[in-house]
Amino acid sequence: MSGLKARCLASALNEWRCLLLGAIAIAALTVGFSYRAQAHSLDEIDTMLEGDEKYFQTIDKPAPEFTLRTANGRVVRTADLRGKVVVLHFIYTSCPDVCPLHAEKIAEVQKMVNGTPMRGQVSFVTITTDPARDTPDVLRSYGQTHGLDPVNWLFLTTTADQPEDATRRLAEAFGHKFTLTDDGYQMHGTVTHVIDKEGRWRANFHGPNFAAVNLVTFVNALTNNVERPHHEPETGWWAKIKGMF
């Protein structure tokens, strides 16, 4: 075998090995998340994350309702997201520091999710708190700049008939403020909200320093329906025994 043919064969083998290792890594990630979700109730996962993730806050109440629109003018309502787990956060694009870091953290989480079968079960939603300056062109380019995949990501702004502060008031409904300053910036915290398939707000991850794998683990628990839905009654022999007392 000539030296050129040998080098070509070695290169092809290395490429094949890389593809195989990538497939194995994705499969292992999927199995690992599924095992953790199926082996524990959501309460147990909450307890685990509260011990492992200092930026995690468990919540259980209906998520605030909203009607907003995409850069292309499509109206998106909270009800349109039912049936999927939603990872939602607020930013404004001229923010010079924490907002870009937050967007890139969400992109990291999205990349992990989209490498698994969860991809079709999770929606990532970014909402601007500066609709006057975040024009459709700005909204379109933001995701590409920060590595967000449009396949399951939405960047939302106000509709034409809503006041300019509508999304800032929505952020307040989610428990934090974006306060305008004299120099045109906004003082704000950084929170990632997780909403389940039924529209219940289930958790916050505070700041940009949480471990992405912890958020993905929590999202996976919700996609796997590890807890009984609120409206479903208990069945089986244990329910019958409890009904006797």
Give the residue, 198 or 41, on which the prediction is more confident.
198
**Which residues face 178 on adjacent strands?**
188
Here the tokens at position 222 are 């919700």
**Which residues face 125 on adjacent strands?**
88, 154
Q: CATH number of the domain at 41-223, out of 3.40.1390.10, 3.40.30.10, 3.40.50.11890, 1.10.1070.11?
A: 3.40.30.10
Cα 80 from Cα 205, distance rounded (Å) = 23
CB proximity list for 48: less than 8 A, separation 6 or greater: 40
Kindly report, residue by residue over 60-109, the tens digit of the pLDDT. Answer: 999 999 999 999 999 999 999 999 999 999 999 999 989 999 999 999 99
Q: For residue 226, what pLDDT band results from cuts at 50, 70 and 90?
A: low
| Res 183 pLDDT > 50 | yes
DSSP the chain: --HHHHHHHHHHHHHHHHHHHHHHHHHHHHHHHHHHHHHS-HHHHHHHHHHH-TTEEEEEEEPPP-EEE-TT--EEEGGGGTTSEEEEEEE-TT-SSHHHHHHHHHHHHHHHHHTSGGGGGEEEEEEES-TTTS-HHHHHHHHHHHT--TTSEEEEB--TTS-TTHHHHHHHHTT--EEE-TTS-EEE--EEEEE-TTSEEEEEEESS-S-HHHHHHHHHHHHTT-S--TTPPP-SHHHHHHHT-
Question: Tell me, what's the pLDDT at 204?
Answer: 97
Kindly report, residue by residue over 22-69, the tens digit of the pLDDT. Answer: 443 444 454 455 545 444 566 777 676 766 778 899 999 999 999 999
Computed over every residue of the chain, the mean pLDDT equals 81
Give the residue, 43 or 154, on which the prediction is more confident.
154
Q: Which residue ranges make up each domain of the chain?
A: 1-39, 41-223
